[in-house]
Amino acid sequence: DYIVEGGQYAAPLGWEYASLEDYNTDYRGLVTFWKFDREKGRIDKSQSFSIELPPYWQDLCDSGKLVSEGWVFCNSFNAERATGGVEAGNPPFEAGASQGDTDYLHIINLKKAVEVYKAGKTKEVKGFPVIPLQTALDEELLYFTPEPKSPHGVDVTPDGKFLVVSGKLDPHVTVYSFEKIQKAIEAGNWDTDDYGVPVLPLDDTKEAQVEVGLGPLHTQFDNQGYAYTSLFLDSAVARWTLGGDFADKHPEEPWQLVGKIPVHYNIGHLMTAEGDTVSPDGGYLVALNKWAIDRFANVGPLLPQNLQLIDINNTGDNMQLLYDMPIGIGEPHYAQMIKYDKLSPWDVYPEIGWNPHTQSVDPNAPQPGNERVERNGNQVEVYMTAVRSHYNPERVEIQEGDHVVWH
């Protein structure tokens, strides 16, 4: 129902100027919930809202599934609130943002937040409704629990019962139990951060930790009870076992590393077939690697990224690299793999003059048989059709100084 967008970097709300000296008081984080109109296939801004957060840097989020539906989980980093400034004698930014042992996993009750938004308990920021941080606390919308340092993603298991977080500076994946999180909230045995947000004890929310390798980032799932985590520094994909209801799906013990497969090179994101849904298909995994290095002929300083197809049909430490595919633009940041039978693509557009962006006939679209040139003073509009290489009208004569609009 909502597209969840983490604000990434803290900033003064409303874009007003504030000195970095006042970072703790004047800067804030943000998470935005964009209402999605499924019938129209479009975001409905009029039904969207944000929640004000402390000035940690909120990164990627994942929505709850099944038992955890109605909740949202977001990573953050830089809980130290470092702003750099070696010129002023401060620690270098990267070191300053890595001094602590943990960051904060944000646990948000979206179902309740929607009720708060609809009740009008918001403030307007640049014409957009925002639930203030204090309101979020008063209405019990927001909780934290410690997470591995500098994570880049939280991934909810297909049954919605567990959350997986990987800290780039920690060789483990940390698995949280949604049931334990709920019990910790009910128990009320927490401290608060500097902004009054309840911090649930890690020992009360953690289900397991699995050592997978260096530089863990993102996790996807298959239909055999395995999880797959990308390892940026190891340049590998780790396969490990899930516990809970998934334990009967694989022959190994739950919550343990099963094996790794090298990828080429420095993987970031990855995807399995429908691997972040409630019913993963398994079978194949695609590693979205950041660099090809020596996999292809050198054609210049900018090396292509490299997508690699991996067969994950078998159990145990038995994964096979099948295919490399270079892509020359952009660092691959996420993708989806779904079964083709879920698509019903058009062979042709429904009507002549169809605008694929608005999903409707453009009122200015030229129509066959009605091609023309309209002149109003020096304002000229050309309505032209094209069939293969033939244009109609073939010739358009205009005068110097004309303003021409070509349809």
What is the DSSP code (8-state) at residue 276?
T
Q: Are residues 29 and 83 in the same domain?
A: yes
Q: Are residues 25 and 155 in the same domain?
A: yes
Q: Are residues 394 and 324 in the same domain?
A: no
300 assigned to some structural domain: yes
166 assigned to some structural domain: no
Q: How much is the average pLDDT of 98-119?
A: 96
Is residue 231 helix, strand or coil?
strand
* Structure token digits, residue 359: 């999903």
What are the φ/ψ torsions at residue 111 (nearest 5 degrees)?
Answer: -55, -45
Inform me whether the pLDDT recorded for 78 exceeds 80.
yes
Q: What CA–CA distance (Å, rounded) separates 33 from 344?
A: 28
Q: Which residues pair with 58 in a beta bridge?
A: 76
Contact present, 239 and 317 (Cβ < 8 Å): yes
Q: Is the dihedral of CA 302, 303, 304, 305 positive or negative?
A: negative
259 assigned to some structural domain: yes
Q: Are residues 143 and 279 in the same domain?
A: no
Q: What CA–CA distance (Å, rounded) separates 386 from 406?
A: 13
Q: Are residues 141 and 225 in the same domain?
A: no
> Percent of the chain at pLDDT above 90?
87
Inform me whether the pLDDT recorded for 181 exceeds 90.
yes
Q: How much is the average pLDDT of 368-374?
A: 94
pLDDT at res. 123: 97
pLDDT at res. 254: 98
314-339 residues labelled b (16+ CB within 10 A) or e (exposed)? ebeeebeeeebeeeeeeebeeeebee
Q: Are residues 180 and 328 in the same domain?
A: no
321 assigned to some structural domain: yes
pLDDT at res. 300: 79
Which of these three, 296, 315, 345, is where a domain ends? 345
170 assigned to some structural domain: no
Burial class (CB in 10 A: 0-12, 13-18, 19+), 353: middle
pLDDT at res. 54: 98
171 assigned to some structural domain: no
Cα 318 to Cα 69, 166, 212, 247, 314, distances in angstroms? 34, 23, 16, 18, 6
Is residue 267 helix, strand or coil?
strand
Q: Are residues 276 and 320 in the same domain?
A: yes
The model's confidence at residue 235, banded by pLDDT at 50, 70 and 90, is very high
233 assigned to some structural domain: yes
Q: Are residues 307 and 375 in the same domain?
A: no
pLDDT at res. 61: 96
* Domain enclosing residue 95, as ranges: 1-161+176-206
Q: What CA–CA distance (Å, rounded) separates 381 from 374?
A: 5
| pLDDT single digits (tens) 158-170 | 999 999 999 988 9
pLDDT at res. 329: 74
Which of these three, 293, 320, 345, is where a domain ends? 345
Q: How many domains does the chain have?
A: 3
| Short-list 377, 376, 374, CA closest to 364 | 374
pLDDT at res. 194: 97
What counts of helices (H) and strands (E) characterise the chain?
Answer: 6, 30
* CATH number, domain containing residue 16: 2.130.10.10
- CA 176, 181, 183 angle in degrees (round to 5)? 140
169 assigned to some structural domain: no
Inform me whether the pLDDT recorded for 41 exceeds 90.
no
Q: How much is the average pLDDT of 254-266?
A: 97
* Structure token digits, residue 73: 């989980």
Q: Are residues 111 and 10 in the same domain?
A: yes
- pLDDT greater at residue 271 or residue 293: 271
Q: Are residues 321 and 384 in the same domain?
A: no
Q: Are residues 224 and 369 in the same domain?
A: no
The model's confidence at residue 330, banded by pLDDT at 50, 70 and 90, is confident
Q: Are residues 238 and 148 in the same domain?
A: no
